[in-house]
Structure 1
């Protein structure tokens, strides 16, 4: 049987980071190496180990060759298995279930990356995600962790991030041309809806709540077609929407806090605390 050189998992991890982040510079930050070190790693992988080109370089832009695309699939599988071996044998207690509650807007924006990284590092932990509005989550006592939105001054728990609410509209939509401003808002008891309506009342701006839904995806679908305006946290802005404000005769909105709550009735568990840290790190981006 032919013998082949071994592939260092550090090389594969750096290679995957370059593919995920679109370049050597950003990948260097992810793997905590200098750009020159990353370049040397990839030169070694291409010339000494695999003896084929993995990247097409055009100035600062880097794309994968056909061989690079093939390697990326193998690299992800190898790195996943590598993590499973260490986590299973070195941390056998990291097996079980963690229950988390979150409004669906945070599930869409922040949790995909958190869940992907956590699953890669701890494949034997089952994560139950319950999507409900913040007001409902505050009433539940069966969840290990909850991510909720809180008004300034009422933060209880660990603050994940603070940011402002902004008005969002579709590209090309001109709210100042609307005699009565159509709004698309959550249909639950949500203080952001109250803030938006109160701010318009104070300004004396005519409006009507034309569309309501418990789903951010549904609200964004309405707004992106130019049927209404919405007010959401700035981090929830999607590429097909734009932020507007006082320059288009809309009032400035306050800021809010995204908070992580731990269930005081849950038994202390390294699984819960580990997942909580992944959430904290995920909300920094």
Structure 2
């Protein structure tokens, strides 16, 4: 059986702390260690283990080298996996169910990887997934966790991320040939549709809402077929579509907030654990 070199997890933990805190001094404070101890650990990691320089000075700033950036990605994954292993072994009581609601928007983009990691760590927990528009989810009181899109300034719960809305079209769509711009958007209750229409009205750009659906996949199918353009959060635009903007005669769009709501009547270790996975998944 082949033997592979190993890295002490404490060295990785210290390395990640230095990268996150921007220096040895602050990392030492976070880790509750002396600065000399942190320096010795990094010297050991660089000189004896990876045999590469992981940090470099840029004036007064401490920056990661290319090798440091590579190691940081692996270090985070290794430390997270170790935490999941310990959690799984120490918490065999994590058996039960949890319900989560989300708009169709985020199902394909974020939920698969989140739920896959959660299921790997807690295989005995059953997850109920409910897909509805944000305005409907906000009216429900029976869900443990809820992901919704909110206008800036109206955020409630835990902010997961903020994203700019962008215009998108199928590759090869002849936008300049459209005297009246065909749009594919969500139904009337979606404020993103309101934003898009108001922005076009303000610049006096002729348009028509040609296709509506509560389903993002349906909207993207229409756009992908070259029948219309749409305005959605940037992370939701498929790689095979073209993001367009002011250079194409379209108005700039604002940013929206994605937030996570917890049901105060359904707090449990299972619910809170899934909430942590959701928060991390939306940061990636």
Determine if the TM-score, normalized by the shorter chain, exceeds 0.5. Answer: yes
Cα 1:6–1:84 change in 2 (3 A) is farther
Q: Aligned residue for 1:278?
A: 277
Question: Structure 1 residue 236: deviation in Å?
Answer: 0.5
Question: Structure 1 residue 173: deviation in Å?
Answer: 1.1
Cα 1:85–1:165 change in 2 (3 A) is closer
1:197-221 alpha-carbon deviations (Å, 9 max, x no partner): 0111111011111111111111111
Question: Structure 1 residue 29: deviation in Å?
Answer: 4.1
Q: Aligned residue for 2:262?
A: 262
Q: Aligned residue for 1:228?
A: 228
Separation (CA, whole Å) in 2 of partners of 1:252 and 1:181: 16
Q: Aligned residue for 1:172?
A: 172
Separation (CA, whole Å) in 1 of partners of 2:230 and 2:215: 13
Q: Aligned residue for 1:39?
A: none
Q: Aligned residue for 1:191?
A: 191
Question: Structure 1 residue 240: deviation in Å?
Answer: 1.4
Q: Aligned residue for 1:245?
A: 245
Cα 1:228–1:26 change in 2 (3 A) is farther
Cα 1:33–1:262 change in 2 (3 A) is closer
Question: Structure 1 residue 239: deviation in Å?
Answer: 1.3
CA RMSD of aligned residues (A): 2.5
Q: Aligned residue for 1:71?
A: none
Cα 1:174–1:117 change in 2 (3 A) is same
Whether 1:31 and 2:30 are equivalent positions in the alignment is: no
Runs of 4+ aligned residues of structure 1 deviating over 2 Å after TM superposition are: 5-8, 24-31, 83-87
Separation (CA, whole Å) in 1 of partners of 2:211 and 2:225: 13
Question: Structure 1 residue 175: deviation in Å?
Answer: 1.7
Separation (CA, whole Å) in 1 of partners of 2:121 and 2:2: 23
TM-score of the pair, normalised by structure 1: 0.71
Separation (CA, whole Å) in 2 of partners of 1:251 and 1:96: 48
- In the TM superposition, what are the counterparts of 1:1-285 in structure 2 within 5 Å? 5=1, 28-32=71-75, 87=88, 89-266=89-266, 268-285=267-284
1:218-239 alpha-carbon deviations (Å, 9 max, x no partner): 1111101111000000000101
Cα 1:84–1:128 change in 2 (3 A) is farther
Contact 1:182–1:227 at 8 Å: present in 2 too? yes
The DSSP-based 3-state class of the residue aligned with 2:209 is strand
The DSSP-based 3-state class of the residue aligned with 2:107 is helix
Structure 2, unmatched stretches of 5+, are 8-66
The alignment of Structure 1 onto Structure 2 pairs a total of residues equal to: 219
Contact 1:84–1:123 at 8 Å: present in 2 too? no
Structure 1, unmatched stretches of 5+, are 12-23, 35-78
TM-score of the pair, normalised by structure 2: 0.71
Question: Structure 1 residue 169: deviation in Å?
Answer: 0.4
The DSSP-based 3-state class of the residue aligned with 2:276 is helix
The DSSP-based 3-state class of the residue aligned with 1:221 is helix
Question: Structure 1 residue 90: deviation in Å?
Answer: 2.3
Question: Structure 1 residue 188: deviation in Å?
Answer: 4.6
The DSSP-based 3-state class of the residue aligned with 1:283 is helix
Cα 1:165–1:30 change in 2 (3 A) is same
